[in-house]
Each structure stands twice: as C-alpha cells, then as structure tokens.
Structure 1
Amino acid sequence: MRQKKLQYLTIQQFTFLAYLALTTLMFFLAMSQGNEGVTFRLFGGGDDGYFYWIQAQNVAAGNAWIRTSIYPLIIGTLMKVTGVESVYLIRLFNYIGFLLLVTFSLKIIRIQFKIDDNKIGQEYKYKAQTLLLVSYLLYASLQMNLNFSILRDIWIYTVYILSTYLSIKLIFHKKNRFFYFVVLAVSIWLLGEFRGYAMLSFLLSLGIHFAYTKVKLLKKPKWLAFIGVGAFAMYYSFFMDLTVSGMSLRRALNYREAALDFHSGGSQMWISLDQSNFIFFLINYVHSYIGNLIGPLPWHISGVSTLFIFLVETIPMILILRFLWKKRNLLTKVQRYILLHGFVWVSLIGFTNDNLGTASRLRPVAWILILIVFVVVYAKNRYLKDSTRKQVVVK
C-alpha cells in the first residue's frame, strides 16, 4: 500500500507541474505571436481570451466593461488588488482553478468509496485516484482549454464539480445538511454567474434525480423516459418561445442555424434541428447528442485536428462508456447520480452546438464526471477480481 501511495503522490505532483509548465510555455509562445501572451493559436483563428483580457483591463482601470459573465470582473479585480496587470497573473489564477478541480474531483472519488464501498482496501482507492490524475494528464482538450488561452472554462468545470460534491454530501451523506445546503446554494449561484446554462443543467439534473427517486410512477426508467420525451414534445410544439435561463428553445435553435449558415469550417457536424415536426427533430437531436458527447464520429473527420481528437479522445471515451455499461451492475446510487449530471449537461449542449471544436471545449464537465465514476468502478472491479482469485487460491 505504501508503494501505491507513493505512486499516487508522484503522479499528483507531476500532473500539477506539467500543467504549470505548459501554461507558462503557452504564455511565452503566445507572446511570440504578438498577442500579449493571451492565446496561443495552434490551428489558427482566435477565441474569447482576448475579449476577457480587454474587459479585465477595463475593470481594473474602473472603466465601463461588457458583462457576459462574472469572469472579467473577477480577473479585473484581481489585477486591481494586486497591482499586477499581466496575462500571466490570470494564467496563474486559472491554474489555481485546475488545482481546485483536482481537489474536488478526488473528494468525489473518496466520498464514493466512503458511502458505498468503504470495505475496499486503501491500495485500490489510491489506484482510482492515480488513474484519474493520469486521465487529466492525457486529456488533450482539457490541457488546451486551460493552458492555450485565458478562458473562463476551467472555472465552469471546477464550480460544477464542486457543486456536484456538495450535492452528494447534502443528498446522500445527510450530516450537517443545513451547512451544505447554504454552501451549495452559493456554489450554484456562482455557477450561473460563470455560465447561465451551467446552472440550468445542474438544477435540471437535481429535478430529474428527485423526480426519479420521490415520484413512484417515475421510478421505472422506461416511464421516466416516456414522460420526459412526451413533456418535451409538448414544449417543442407549443412553448418554444418560453425563456428559460435567458434563452428560449427557438432562440437556441436559431443560434445553431446561424452557425450553420455562417461557419463553413471542417469542424461543423452539419446537423439541423430546425425541423417541421418533432419526430425529425428528435432523430437529428440524437445525432447531435452523440456528436457532442463523443464526437468527432468517423464521418465528421475532415482534417488533422478532427482525426487527432478522434484518436486520443473519441476512441478512449467509447471504451470507457462501454466498460461502464458492461459493469453497470456495480454502479451505486451515488455514481448514477453523478453520471446523470454528465449526460444532462451534454443534452443541453446538443441543442445549441454544432461545432466539434466547441463540443471539445464544453463537454469536459460531462467527461470529468464520467471519468470520476469510471476510475472508481474500475478499481472496484479489480478489487472483486483480486478477491475472487485469492479465495480460489485459499481453497
């Protein structure tokens, strides 16, 4: 067990150093490209990083700024308080976000073992934590989203994982519930300030969980799916203009169609959800959902970048999901709850996004949650196999 602990701590420190080294390298490479170290353009084009940098400077100077989220306010205030007006300061701030992401991810791993599988040996718990850290090292899109620019995305991932951890403590642990309720409320509010539909996804997941566990009729998955599809069919047919979290369904679909009209890049999936009836919409939406969850699919590959993502992300995630499906009998209530959050998150992305590059930037919330469950189930499966083997040897 001591060896497993040493291995875990070594991988942990290496992961932290690797991310710090990479964001530092990207800062200097971006400086060499002449954009103040904001964004390193690997495949050409830009992102929202420079917009955040300009708005943060406005906040620090006390000038008017464009509020699209709380992120420019936070980094602008940070520059004002420290007196340091440097992109590298923001990169270090986002690096702290990554450290917190790892911390909360590991906490969710530990609480899974504590609530449901506490009998499993400590060496298997270290194995699960080590495997998650290795996954973060090899997760190319996570590396790029954090280190190539100064995007807000790492904080969306982190606050969502924090909210998930707090909700597990509140729902399943049932100690100090008032404290966790208050902290969770603050966390959900902050999540909404970073991105409105992130808060919507979290609240929707909570609603589905409580509907499934508390309403007798909905405790059968088939009934839950039937009622859910039926309710959405009504919403699609009669309430498309109803605004939820600042956006109606019609506006979301129009946003998606605008992307199809104006973007002709090879990273588009070319899936239209603006259909004449709900059946055609549902067929295309399933395609969009799968594309956003594990894309690019083979027919989406149109260049080196999409081929790279297919090889290093799509194929591994398909294998992970296949493993979880085969071992679904090992899934606990907590793990099903965690996975629910991931799949609901992708369901919202599937409405508005048709771009594979954007999908790889938005879906890490879902993938991180899936990975957190996967490493625990994998460790538990190894524990059961080893236990069975030892029993056979004893006999």
Structure 2
Amino acid sequence: MVSIFSSLKNSWLFFFLFSLFFFKIFFYILVNLNFLPISLGGADANYYHAFVLYSNDLDRAVNIWPVLLKYLHGWGFYSREIISYCLLLLNLTFIPIIATKLSGLKFSVNQKYYLFMFLLCVFYPSLYSFTFDIFRDVFMVFTFLFGCFVVKKSLNNNNNNNFLFFIFYALAILIGFFLLALRPYLGYAFLLSLFLWKIKFTKRRIVIFSFLYLISLFIANYIGLLDSLTEYRSGFEEGTGSTLGLNFSNPLMFVPNFILSILGQLFGLYFTNLISIVLFFVETVPFIYMLIYVFKNIRFADDFLRFLMIFFILYLSVWVIGNDNLGTAVRLRIYNYFIIYICFFYILKLKDKIEYHQVINK
C-alpha cells in the first residue's frame, strides 16, 4: 500500500475524494426521499425516537444517547431527520478532519498522506450506514476521536508544560466518563489506557505480552471474573442472534475460542453473505496490511501511539468476548480499525520526517 501512495497523483486523490463525497450525499438524499427502496433504519433508532417522544423516565434509558436527544427535544431542537443529517456531516467532514490531525498530517506538508487518510475515512462504508437514522455510533466515533485528540494534546505537553498536561488530562478523563455513559466498555478501555500509556513496546515485548495476556484472560475467566461477558455472549445464541456459535462456557476452551472470535469478528474471516465478503475486502484487507506495518515499525511508537495501542487491546478484549454477532461486530470494530489507520499514517509521517533529516544532515 505504501507503494500506492507514490504511484497515485494528488489530482487523482482529489478526484476520488470529491466524487465519493458527492456520491454519498446524493445517495443519502435519494434514500431519505424514498427514491430508492432501501431501509437503513433499525430497532435501536426506533427505540431512541420513541424514548424521546413518549418516555419521561430518564433513568430507564439504556445509555446516555436517548437522554441527550430527549434534552434536545425539550429545548425544541429535536428532529429525527435533522439529527441524521448532522450525523452525515460528522461522518463526511469532522471525523476525517480529526483523524488526519491525530495522524499528525498537514495538508500543506503531507498532502498525499492527508488526502489518502481523508479518503479512507470518508469511504468507510459501515460507519456511513449509521448516518441514515439516529444511531449513536457516528456520534460515539466522533466523541472517541475528539477524546484521543485531547489525550494527544495532554501527552504532547507532558515534558514541556505541566499545567497544560493536567488540564488536558483532566478533560480526557471527563470525556472517558462520557464515553462510559455512551458504551460502558468503550469508556472503560479509554479511561484505563490513560493510566497505562507509559508501557513501552517492542516486537519482542508484544509477543511476550500477548502470551502473558492470554494467560491472564484464561485465569480471569477460570475464576469467574469474565462471567458477565460470557453470559452476555450466550444471550446471542438464546436469542438466535449468534453467528459464530462459539461456546465460552467451557473454561478450558477459552483461549482457542477467544482467538477464533478475534479471527471471525475483528478480521472478518467468517463469511455469512455477500455483504460480509465485500466488507472484508474494502475494510478488513487494508486494516490487516496497516496492522502488520504498525507491528513491524512499533519501535517508532511514542506516548500517544502507546495510548492508542493499549486502548486497541483493552477494547478488543471486551467486545470479542462479549459479542457473538457478526453484524454487531462490524460496528464494534470501527474503533479498532480507526486506531490502526491513525497509527499507520502517524508512523509513515514520522519515518518520512526522520529520513528527511538524515538526508539534510549528510
């Protein structure tokens, strides 16, 4: 993929980006005006809408998203259609902008990388599918990336300005609690990563840590610390929502099932229909390549990249154990994919900067 950057002209990237941008807006309008017989709503969105209009018991909300929509309704700013348009705006503009900033890319300096990263974020089909109704996923991705931006600001001031470090760090913790209210294990992974970012990575350490981590998860599951997750997973099978059909009730099979769950859900190596095959090639194949590249160049990881990678592991560990539905996995893995996108371009930019200084100093 790195070679693709050198072969593609910036003008072509501009063309692809603007074509995709306007195609998605045009397609979105056609679907919303019912010119295309496609339904991209869902039970979650219907529940949120019903909660906003008919429920007065905020404590019964399944997460904070319908509560926020309820407040908008109380202030006279709620509209199901307008909220979905706002989510489209987040998806096509604000999320790609924050992701490129997190990657350390500047349009004037790293134009090709910048355009490619922007194109990758705008193209991401699964996230786009959640803009057609009042799903919380796009808003959560935006909030998560903004939280990562605050973390980056904090860690960048770690050695230079202690006051700014603590201000941004405190703000990051508050965002972590907000993520906790949106999706508990997303917030848990974010908050815990804020306290583990000093762990340094090398290829050898990653292999050793992976082995020790699997043993730790096995022990945690064996003594019952993961019962809430495995019981939640069993609900998919009881509700006929299971697609992988892995039985986590046998503690001796925990590690093999955990690995199979990662392969099936994170890497999409379990094909149930044509859509799962398409998503594998357009979403997962680039992710796998970038993940390998990040692993090979892990020595370049600074404080911020260590935070991202620790989040990647902690968040992944929870949802691949607790989830057994591939349709749900597509929305849960978005954060893992975006983390690797950011790390990939971050390292690319950093390596180019190092090579440039080496040439200058010769």
Shorter-normalised TM range? 0.7 to 0.9
Superposed, 1:259-338 pairs within 5 Å as 259-263=236-240, 268-277=243-252, 280-295=253-268, 297=269, 300-338=270-308
Alignment partner, residue 139 of structure 1: 124
Indicate the SS of the match to 2:194: helix
Alignment partners' CA distance in 2, 1:102 and 1:333: 22
Superposed, 1:240-251 pairs within 5 Å as 240=225, 249-251=226-228
Distance verdict in 2 for CA 1:14–1:173, change over 3 Å: farther
Aligned: 1:153 with 2:137: yes
Given residue 203 of structure 1, which amino acid in structure 2 is its aligned partner? L
Aligned: 1:58 with 2:54: yes
Indicate the SS of the match to 2:62: coil
Indicate the SS of the match to 2:250: coil
Cα drift, residue 339 of structure 1 = 2.8
Given residue 142 of structure 2, which amino acid in structure 1 is its aligned partner? T
Aligned: 1:197 with 2:188: no
Aligned partner (choices 306, 323, 327) of residue 357 of structure 1: 327
Contact kept? 1:52, 1:72, Cα under 8 Å = yes
Root-mean-square deviation (Å) = 3.5
Alignment partners' CA distance in 2, 1:32 and 1:124: 41
Q: TM-score, normalised by structure 2?
A: 0.81
Alignment partners' CA distance in 2, 1:14 and 1:190: 35
Cα drift, residue 91 of structure 1 = 0.7
Contact kept? 1:285, 1:350, Cα under 8 Å = yes
Alignment partner, residue 170 of structure 2: 182
Alignment partners' CA distance in 1, 2:26 and 2:73: 22
Q: TM-score, normalised by structure 1?
A: 0.75
Alignment partners' CA distance in 1, 2:338 and 2:61: 28
Note the residue ranges of structure 2 that are not aligned, 5 or more in a row.
1-8
Alignment partners' CA distance in 2, 1:178 and 1:380: 26
Aligned: 1:342 with 2:342: no
Identity %: 20
Alignment partners' CA distance in 1, 2:124 and 2:265: 16
Alignment partners' CA distance in 1, 2:311 and 2:241: 32
Distance verdict in 2 for CA 1:185–1:281, change over 3 Å: same
Distance verdict in 2 for CA 1:20–1:72, change over 3 Å: farther
Alignment partner, residue 70 of structure 1: 64
Cα drift, residue 343 of structure 1 = 3.2
Distance verdict in 2 for CA 1:302–1:69, change over 3 Å: closer
Kindly tell me the number of residue pairs found equivalent between the two proteins: 345
Given residue 52 of structure 1, which amino acid in structure 2 is its aligned partner? Y
Range 317-326 or range 190-199, more displaced: 317-326
Aligned partner (choices 23, 39, 42) of residue 41 of structure 1: 39
Alignment partner, residue 118 of structure 1: none
Cα drift, residue 17 of structure 1 = 5.1
Contact kept? 1:70, 1:193, Cα under 8 Å = yes
1:197-253 per-position Cα deviation (integer Å, ceiling 9, x unaligned): 11111123234434x25xxxxx9556644554444343222243xxxxxxxx21221
Distance verdict in 2 for CA 1:74–1:169, change over 3 Å: same
Indicate the SS of the match to 1:201: helix
